[in-house]
Each structure stands twice: as structure tokens, then as C-alpha cells.
Amino acid sequence: MKNYRFKNLTALVCGGLFTLSVAGSAMAADTMDVNIEECVQMAMNNNRTIKQALADYDSAVWKRHEARRTSGPTLNWTSAARRVGGAAQNQADIRALYLNTVAVSMPIYTGGQLEGSIRAADLGLDASEIAIEATKQSVKAKTQAAYFNALNCRNLIKVSQDSVNTLQEHLKNVNAQYSVGTVAKTDVLASQVQLSNAQLGLVSAQNNYDVAIASLNNIIGNPVNTKLNLKDEMGYQTYDISLDDCVQYARENRPAILAADYSVKIAQEQVGIAGAGVKPKVQAEVSRTFTGKNPFGSDTNVNDFYFTQNSWYLGLGMNWNIFDNNVTQAKVNQSKAAVEKAKEAAAMARETGDLEVKTAYLNLTSAAKSIDTAKVAVDKAREDYKIAQVRYSAGVGTNLDVMDAEEKLTTAQSNYYNALYKYNSSKAELDRSMGIMVDLDVSKFKDTQK
């Protein structure tokens, strides 16, 4: 039953919460026609926050490479050139002495330090990959919210324009009645003021739309002055997944929770790495040394015996810091404290996830209820305005009744579009808070939660 619900959820996500509008007329050359999926894809390709996360992943790859290479052999060359004087010159009067040593060494046993570093680097790489997915989910939600905001602003422009058109027609009616003496001058003045206010509202709505488009361009990586023709219309589709299922899905798939679990594992590895400070270190080494009065060579002249050598060395070396005045123990205790901190952070990540999911879900359901109510209010407000107009034209209603009805109609229309916007943006936020996948299957990372 649980898998069926998640499949249903995936279908709902893929289906979207909006309907595509019929393609409009040809746009100017500097205008880009985009739908919401195209905007999300552009954000995935261009957003700088995602690029920073990718750079962090590359850094984690090389950090793991560093950890693994540390356990392998290293080649070292030591060279020195010296002048010799005094009694040590001997009969050969040697004044130049060269020393060259080539050594290959490899750690055999480090008390778990290298092994712990490799495991921590592997975990860090996985955590970095999860961080990329978390960033993409956040950018996707931010892009969707910006797109829906632009759609809402476009709808509110239409509401403001309709209000201006309606009041202009009403003003014509008032002027006609005033010219024949059936209404007072105050009706004309009041209607003119109402129209001016509506025109100011239209200017503000247009400005809000321009700002919304600029913000959307910034998120998807376009120049902020790019003109966008949004091909979608905000719609409404019932969300059938329960809150409990949403919370459970988030606990299993939310990247922030998975990343927090990895932080605990990494901190636990650091305890072992710190504890290796008081354990013996064993390494194998082979070296070849050339010493003489000629660079990279040996002189077999007996008189130069004390100044010419050609030797090699092969063996094992051990270093054991038996007592370090409890410095290592202090580091171990610090690492253990870091583990407890990571565990608390992981618990907080789960609690934060639960809260964000519930908040987005409640906002979603609240907006869904508001949509139906607001739609009914629009129909009633439109009918009320028509009645007020007829009554005013017949001389049995007042100008105030008409303007009040028109204002209520504008408010009802705005409330309806705002409810649609809240629903769609809340759905985008719910997807993010749940950890709905963008392009990373997080199932391979879930074993860290056990």
C-alpha cells in the first residue's frame, strides 16, 4: 500500500499543477517563450549555487583521492652539495662532497589512521553528492515559486486592467447622466477618483510583474532584462497524498536528513583517526645513497675512501608515541563531542523536516479550500456589480453602490488568483521539503540511517 501511494505521488508530481495555454502570437526577437519545465532546466544548467555545489563535489573527489594515495608508496630524493676543508681533506685534497639519497617508503600499519581517513573521505564524497541533490531541489522549488509569482502578477495585471476598463465605462455612463441632469457633480468626481486609483493600481501591478520577471531571469541564469513570455497558466489539481505519507517520505528521502546521517558517520571515523595518535606506526623503506666528490657517482680511489660511499638500505621502521601527555586523548574527547553534536544535528534535521513538510502541507490544504471559496465569491461579486450598474442606470441605485460593488469584484478576483498562487507555490515547497527527486536516486545512501 505504501509503495502504491508513493507511485501515486510521483505521478502527481510529474503531472504538474498547471495547464499549458495555447501558443500566443509571434513575439518580438528579444522575447523568450518558456514554460515552467524549461525554466527549471535552465536553472539546473545555469544557477551559480548549483555550480558551487558541483565544485564542492569535485573537491571531495580529490580529497578522497588524497586519502587513498596516502596509503601507497612514495618516492623521495634528497640531495646535497658541500665544500670540505680542514683536516678532513686527507691527502687527496678533496674540496667537494656530494650526497644523493633515493628512498621509497610505504606505510604498513598506522593504527587505523589511514583506513579511517579513507572511510571518512568516502563518506564525505557521498555527502557531497547528496548536497548537490539538495541544492538542485532547492533551486527547483525557488524557480517554480518565482515562475508562479510571475504568473500571479500577470493575472493581477489583468484584474487591474479589467478594473480600469470597467470604471472607464462607468464614468462614461455617469457623465452621460450628469449631462442630462439626472445625477450630481459629486458622482462624476467620485467616479474619476475611483478610476485614478484603479490606474495607479495597474501601474503598480505592471511594476510587480516586471520585478517578478527579473527575479525569475536571475534564478534561471538569464540577463535580468530578458523578456519572458510565460506559456503556462496556473491551475488547480487536487492533492490526494496524506500528511503522514508525506512526512514518512521525507524521513526516508529528504537530502538534509541523509546528509546529517553522513555527518554522524564522518564524525565517528574522526574518533578512530584521533585515537591512532598513541598507536605504533610501521613503514617499509628501501633507499640507495651515493656520496662522493662527483655528483651521482663514486670514486674508487683508495685515498678518497672516507669521502666516497655507495650504499643501500632495506628494512622496516617503527615509530611509537608511547606517552604524549594525554594530547591524543584530548583529541579523542573532542572527536567524541563532535559525534554527539552531529547526532543532535541529525535529530534536528528530522524535526525540521517534519515541521517544513507539515507547514507546506497545511498551507497547501488551506489554499485549496480558499480556491473554491474565492471562485464562488468572484461569481457573486460579478453578479452584484451587474445589479448595481442596472440599478444606477435606472435611477434607483447610487454611484457609491456601483463603486463599492466594483471594488469588491476586484478584491474577489485578486483573492482567487492569490489562492491559486499560494496553492501552487505551496506544492513546490512541499516537494522540496519532502525531498522529491530531481536527478539523484537517494536509495543507495539510505543505509547510513540504520
- Reported as a single tens digit per residue, the pLDDT across 259-285 is 999 999 999 999 999 998 889 989 999
Residue 4's pLDDT is what? 43
What is the b/e burial string over 110-142, where b = at least 16 CB atoms within 10 angstroms of the residue's CB? bbebbbbbbbbbbbbbbbbbbbbbbbbbbbbbb
Q: Give the mean pLDDT of 291-297.
A: 72
Asked if the model's pLDDT at residue 36 lies above 50, the reply is yes
Q: How far apart are CA 11 and CA 206, in angstroms?
A: 36
Per-residue burial over 69-97, b if 16 or more Cβ lie within 10 Å, else e, is eeeeeeeeeeeeeeeeeeeeeeebebeeb
Describe the crossing of helices 243-253 and 399-434 by its angle, rounded to 10 degrees.
Answer: 40
pLDDT at 264: 96
CA distances (Å), origin 405, targets 86, 214, 371: 113, 35, 21
Is there a contact between 117 and 335 (Cβ–Cβ < 8 Å)? Answer: no
Residue 1 has pLDDT above 50, yes or no: no
What percent of the chain clears pLDDT 70, i.e. is strictly above it?
A: 87
Residue 364 has pLDDT above 70, yes or no: yes
Q: What is the DSSP string of 4-33?
A: HHHHHHHHHHHH-SEEEPPP-SPPPTTEEE
pLDDT tens column, 52-76: 999 999 999 999 999 999 989 999 9
Return the pLDDT at 305.
44
Q: H or E element: which one contains 160?
A: helix 113-179
Mean pLDDT of 103-121: 92
Instruction: Select from 343, 367, 363 the least CA-distant residue to 355.
Output: 363
Alpha-carbon span 431 to 142, nearest angstrom: 11
Q: 236 with 371: CB under 8 angstroms?
A: yes
Instruction: Give the per-residue pLDDT at 98.
Output: 84
Phi (first) and psi of residue 248, to 5 degrees: -65, -40
Comparison of pLDDT for 30 and 156, the residue scoring more? 156
Average pLDDT, the chain: 87
Mean pLDDT of all residues in 312-340: 91
Residue 397 · residue 405 · CB < 8 Å: no
- Cell output for 441: 536516486
Under the banding of pLDDT at 50, 70 and 90, the label for residue 91 is very low
Which of the four pLDDT bands, split at 50, 70 and 90, describes residue 312?
confident
Is the confidence at residue 160, as pLDDT, over 60?
A: yes
Residue 96: band (very low, low, confident or very high) from pLDDT cuts 50, 70, 90: confident
Q: What is the CA radius of gyration of the chain?
A: 38
Mean pLDDT across 198-223:
96
- For residue 175, what pLDDT is reported? 93
Whether the pLDDT of residue 90 is over 60: the answer is: no
Q: Tell me what pLDDT residue 395 has.
A: 85
- Residue 11 confidence (pLDDT) above 60: no
Name the β-bridge partners of 79: 100
The confidence score (pLDDT) of residue 95 equals 66
Averaged pLDDT, 190-219: 96
How far, in Å, CA of 225 to CA of 215, rounded?
A: 10
